[in-house]
Each structure stands twice: as C-alpha cells, then as structure tokens.
C-alpha cells in the first residue's frame, strides 16, 4: 500500500464584516522532527516512508534517504530495513498477533520509534449488496439513488476491537473497453454503530468504527452509498467490499485524517485558509503513523 503524509504549517487568518484578525497557532518545532508513514499487514512486506515536514510554500522532496531504520518483532531485533525507491523495505511479512517496532535514526534529527500490533482477520458473514436501495433528494429537489452494503461481523466483545469498511465499484467502460474503479460518498442511515463515530459528515474515503456499541455476537452493519445513476451508464461490473480489523492507532489516525482531508478540500467562507486539524500520531519524538490492519475482501456482481 502506498501512502503519503503531508504535514504543513498553517498561518491562519480570517475576514469577517470587513475586519481582519490574525490567529497565531503554535504547532511546535515540527520542522525538526522525523515523519514516519507505514501501514503494515500480513499480505505484504513492511515498508516505511521516512521524511521531514515542509511548509506550504516550500518545494522539493522531503524524503530522508540516509536514515537507519531498525525493525523489531516482539522486542527482538529482526533487521535493518534497506532503502529502495523512496521506501525502507523489510524482507519479512508481518505475522498476525505479533507486535512490531521500528526505530529510526537520521542525522540532525532526534531518534524516533513507533510500535503497533497486527490484528487477526475480521470474521464476516452475510455480505449483501442492494442496488438502488432508496431515493434521496438533493437541495435542488433532484433525486439520486442510494445503494446499501450490509454484512455481519462476528465479535464476542471480549476485547476492544476496531474495524474499517471501504466499498468500490469496478466496471467496464464501453467507451474504451477498459476497467475502472470508483468510490462513493457514504450516507447516514439508521446504523448507530457508524453514526456515533461522527465522521460520516466529513466525506470519508472509508468507514471506521469500534465494537463499543455491538450488542450481538453476529453484529449487523449497514453502509449506505450515494451511487447516483452510475449503474445506468456502466452496467457491467462488481462491487468490491473490503472489511478490515485495524489497530487502535490505525482507527485514530483514519478518523483524524478524514476530518483533516475534508477541511483541506472544502471551501469555507469564514476561514481564509483550510482549517488546521491535528493528525493523530503514534510516533514517539516525531510525527506520522505506524499502524497495522488485517483485511478480507468480497466481490458481488452487479446485475
């Protein structure tokens, strides 16, 4: 999985009733910290992006290519990762229920480290897709289609668990006879397990949630998608449904990134620039994320 973190320093100002006020925000000396980006899972070798923060007006590559990145498994040293094409790469595949730690040293920066635990795979049953489940109306009175993905997650509530669901449509375009993959906007519904996370209004790329509100061992979860009229134009395809069990660090980071991404890509008349949102980090003495997940996938043909 290729991920990129961009950390910027904001000087925030806004204009209201023709008056201008400058708001100073202290983000600390983030420019002196190492930034780590790594999402680990059992199906691929571990890779770590090591960089430093740059300002919005700066240019150039922030990649650090001469760092020492050491990998530990259950507190036992495994290897020093080798730099290759932006990433420091391992030779091993992370194992389920093992804990991994990286230590990173780079000249002129304080040493950083991060730790996370690889969860087991989620247990899901009864995966279902309902095309054009219902109609909704936009602000102009026009209608659009809502489709639904549902499943049941097997979880006995004996431990605190965290999950993520992402849904895509892979379709064949008759214009160029090529397959494309598209995502959807998620819509609120009656599933309080989703609603109580309070991120669905921020146009998430996926849905993350905990098992705090599970009340059944086989817990139903419903996800509603704004599919508009895409199935009228692209009739040959399949829904790709990804369900992940994720670590606490992954869950926290994904929630903060969703809100961060929303404000970076939305227009706001009140704030003169994108609203700053602090990204969750589990990197000691640094910035970024080192987080684990385990996933299962299902595909459902669209008729």
Span 198-224, pLDDT tens digits: 899 899 999 999 999 999 999 999 999
Provide the pLDDT for residue 269. 55
Return the domain boundaries, the chain. 12-119+247-296, 124-244
Across the range 183-194, mean pLDDT stands at 93
Across the range 181-204, mean pLDDT stands at 93
3-state secondary structure of 193: helix
Q: Which of 49, 57, 40 is nearest to 5 (CA)?
A: 49
Q: Phi and psi dihedrals of 206, rounded to 5? A: -155, 170
Whether 23 and 271 have beta carbons less than 8 Å apart is answered as no
CA distances for 273 relative to 11, 86, 269, angstroms: 8, 30, 9
Q: Using a pLDDT cut of 90, give the percent of the chain over it.
A: 71
Q: Mean pLDDT over all residues of the chain?
A: 87
Residue 290 corresponds to which tokens in the numbers above? 């080192």
Q: Which of 251, 261, 249, 244 is nearest to 290 (CA)?
A: 249
pLDDT band, very low/low/confident/very high, at 82 (cuts 50, 70, 90): very high
Q: What is the DSSP string of 48-96?
A: EEEE----TT--S--B--S-EEEEEETTEEEEEPEEETTEEE-SS---T
**Rounded Cα–Cα distance for residues 78 and 95 (Å):** 13
- pLDDT of 15 > 90? The answer is no
Query: 57 or 181, which is more confident?
Result: 181
């Amino acid at each position: 999985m290729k991920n990129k973190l961009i950390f910027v320093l904001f000087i925030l100002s806004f204009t209201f009733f023709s008056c201008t006020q400058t708001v100073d925000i202290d983000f600390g000396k983030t420019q002196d910290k190492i930034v780590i980006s790594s999402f680990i899972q059992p199906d691929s070798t571990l890779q770590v992006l090591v960089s430093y923060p740059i300002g919005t007006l700066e240019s150039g590559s922030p990649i650090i290519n001469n760092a020492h990145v050491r990998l530990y498994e259950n507190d036992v040293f495994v290897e020093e990762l080798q730099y290759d094409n932006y990433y420091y790469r391992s030779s091993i595949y992370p194992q389920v229920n093992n804990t991994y730690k990286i230590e990173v040293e780079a000249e002129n920066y304080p040493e950083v480290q991060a730790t996370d635990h690889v969860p087991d795979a989620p247990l899901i049953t009864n995966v279902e897709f309902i095309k054009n489940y219902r109609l909704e109306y936009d602000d102009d009175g026009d209608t659009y289609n809502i489709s639904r993905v549902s499943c049941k997650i097997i979880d006995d509530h004996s431990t605190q668990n965290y999950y993520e669901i992402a849904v895509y449509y892979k379709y064949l375009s008759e214009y160029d006879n090529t397959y494309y993959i598209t995502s959807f906007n998620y819509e609120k519904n009656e599933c309080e397990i989703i609603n109580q996370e309070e991120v669905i209004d921020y146009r998430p790329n996926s849905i993350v949630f905990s098992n705090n509100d599970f009340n059944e061992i086989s817990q139903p979860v419903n996800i509603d998608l704004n599919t508009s009229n895409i199935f009228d134009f692209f009739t040959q395809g399949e829904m790709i449904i990804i369900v992940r069990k994720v670590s606490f660090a992954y869950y926290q980071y994904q929630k903060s990134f969703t809100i961060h991404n929303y404000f970076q890509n939305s227009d706001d008349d009140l704030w003169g620039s994108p609203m700053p949102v602090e990204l969750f980090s589990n990197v000691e003495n640094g910035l970024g994320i080192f987080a684990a997940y385990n996933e299962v996938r299902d595909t459902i043909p669209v008729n």
